[in-house]
Amino acid sequence: MTTIDVGTAARQTPTLRDLSAREIVRRIAAGELSSTEAVEYFVARLKTVNGALNAVTADLSESARKTAADVDKARSRGEKLPPLAGLPVTIKECFDLVGTATTYGLTTRRSDIERTDDPYVAALRAAGAIPIAKTNLPQLMFYTETDNPLYGRTNNPWDLERSCGGSSGGEAAVIGAGASPFGLGNDIGGSLRIPAAFCAITSIRPTAGRLPDHCAHGLPVGQTGIVSQVGPMARYVEDLVMGLRVLDRARDPLVDPGPEFGDPSGVDLSRVRFATFTDDGEFPVAPAVKRAVAEAAQFLSAAGATAADWKPPPLSRATDLLFAALSGDAAASHRRLLRGNSVDRRLRPLLLIAAMPLWLRSVAGLALDGLGQRRLARNLRRFAPGTADAYWLAVEAIANFRREIVCSLDDAGGGPVDLILCPAHALPPIRHGATEMMPMAGAYVPLANVTGFPAGVVPVTRVRANEESGRPPSRDLIERVARETERGSAGLPIAVQVIARPWRDHLALAAMAQIEAAARKQPDYPARPPL
């Protein structure tokens, strides 16, 4: 791990990298900062850090400079500027952007240049935002580390030996390193929230249906039991609010109906009841993670929110259902897309397991149990049989689980629960390669994907020296990976997750803003990485 003192880095003279995206937009509109200055700063910052991060897949600086000059001319003429005018932004590689390739890490797609923008990219552009780069992702966005045979591995700005998460890992890395004030990502199994947690930034996966993900190009978007959502990523919660107001307008209410995005500033936290959990019944969390949730709960209580008792159904079922839905076709679509391509080593075992006959998977599970590898055995059994009937049953089970969660929130002692406060991830940022053995660390992230609830992540603290492991030695390979993740993790960022009921995204963001404001005053807050 790098030895630069994070506290010293956090006390450096504030620059544009320390400003919120909202403040950058305000300064440009007021004439205190030109769009050209903002673009040049973040383009230069990207060039400074990308050699270490390897996060950029497409350099858009030339077109960004031209657009910035146009914004500055419009402002000088006194024209009314759109809400994000002049703001430099970065875009995850999976989103179509005119003049760039959308590859998902497939070498066969690197020459396919897009002629139209994704609707959410178009919405950001229409609001005045200026894309300066596209960023890296895992191959086919199928695992939670950012690495692929086409663009290579992206590193975490807090420790280059650690993963930035995935699949929106390139976005999280550049934002966390202060090389972008705002980014666009998506999330079907934690792809916004895990990278945000690992890189000490903030993000939100909106309510299922608020920002439906249009990324396709052969990906199995017909799988609708658990749907991917587009979401903003930034260093400040206020920037998520600003971004969601723009992105929510890109949704066609006739095609994707739902209430408009609410106003977080109008939320009275003294009328909010929240529940916490740090144990999903399957994957114990690291000591620093448990402390972070407790501290965040104190921050909410200090703001007048009421802690409530909550007895949920078995939460590990969320992971079971996520696997059942996403492997419903036995990975046939992924094998089709991968033809003619080098396959990432993390995908190979997943594809092999997904295609296994059910009887062989049962035998392998029994063998793993006999060898003391109960976690590997359980993950093996989570893969779907690959029949339409099994998928339909999984979709029914997902609907039933959602109802059970809602009922449990309604029936909580003292009155209904509005928010759930829980870990963003069970562990600190994982080491490169950890997902080969540990594809998913518990149900903390899948819970929101399976229920469709809005869920945001906000950084709270850093691992302390005495918190590097609370996990005993074990024969279990996944336990050993988790223990190795915790070893040497002092100084790394830890975030919490806030989950709200459907269409109450604004309530989650209001709670996140309160936690953020209080956490930033604490000595352990992860303000700036050493990079």
Q: Is 167 a catalytic residue?
A: yes
Position 402, amino acid:
R
Q: Is 327 a catalytic residue?
A: no
- Say if residues 423 and 291 touch (Cβ distance below 8 Å): no
Domain boundaries, the chain: 17-251, 262-315+389-526, 329-383
The H-or-E segment that residue 182 falls in is strand 182-187
Low-confidence ranges of the chain (pLDDT < 50): 1-11
Tokens of 47: 């060039």
Give the Cα separation of 46 and 432 in Å (integer): 22
Neighbours of 62 (CB within 10 A): 8
Catalytic residue selected from 34, 35, 61, 92: 92
Triad 215, 216, 218: Cα angle to 5°: 155
Q: What is the DSSP string of 87-132?
A: -EEEEETTS--TTSB--TT-GGGTT-B-SS--HHHHHHHHTT-EEE
- Say if residues 155 and 164 touch (Cβ distance below 8 Å): yes
The H-or-E segment that residue 423 falls in is strand 419-423
pLDDT digit string, tens, across residues 92-138 = 999 999 999 999 999 999 999 999 999 999 999 999 999 999 999 99
Catalytic residue selected from 34, 180, 191, 228: 191
For 484-488, which contacts have Cβ atoms below 8 Å and span 24 or more sequence positions?
484/431, 484/434, 485/286, 485/427, 485/428, 485/429, 485/430, 485/431, 485/434, 486/286, 486/427, 486/428, 488/1
Same fold, 17-251 and 262-315+389-526: yes
Instruction: Please give the pLDDT value at position 220.
Output: 79
- Say if residues 505 and 526 touch (Cβ distance below 8 Å): no
Tell me the HSE value of 275 on the side-chain side, using a 13 A CA sphere: 22
Instruction: Please give the pLDDT value at position 203.
Output: 99
Q: Is 76 a catalytic residue?
A: no
Q: Dihedrals φ, ψ of 157, to 5°?
A: -65, -15
Q: Pick the closest to residue 327 from 201, 225, 214 (CA basis).
A: 225
Give the Cα separation of 243 and 89 in Å (integer): 11
Q: What is the DSSP string of 312-353?
A: -S-TTHHHHHHHHHHTTTTTHHHHHHHTTSPPPTTHHHHHHH
Tokens of 315: 């939460």
Domain at 17-251, CATH class? alpha beta
Catalytic residue selected from 34, 61, 167, 489: 167
Give the Cα separation of 134 and 93 in Å (integer): 5
Task: Calculate helix-pair angle for 169-176, 35-53, nearest 10 degrees.
Answer: 110
pTM passes above 0.85: yes
Fold of 262-315+389-526: Amidase signature (AS) enzymes (3.90.1300)
Position 258, amino acid:
G
Position 67, amino acid:
T
Q: From residue 197, how far is each of 10, 193, 209, 346 by CA, in Å?
A: 18, 6, 23, 21
Instruction: Please give the pLDDT value at position 213.
Output: 94
Neighbours of 311 (CB within 10 A): 9
8-state DSSP, 421: E
Instruction: Please give the pLDDT value at position 458.
Output: 98
Give the Cα separation of 68 and 28 in Å (integer): 11
Instruction: Please give the pLDDT value at position 254.
Output: 87
Instruction: Please give the pLDDT value at position 13.
Output: 57
Q: Pick the closest to residue 82 from 242, 207, 225, 200 (CA basis).
A: 242
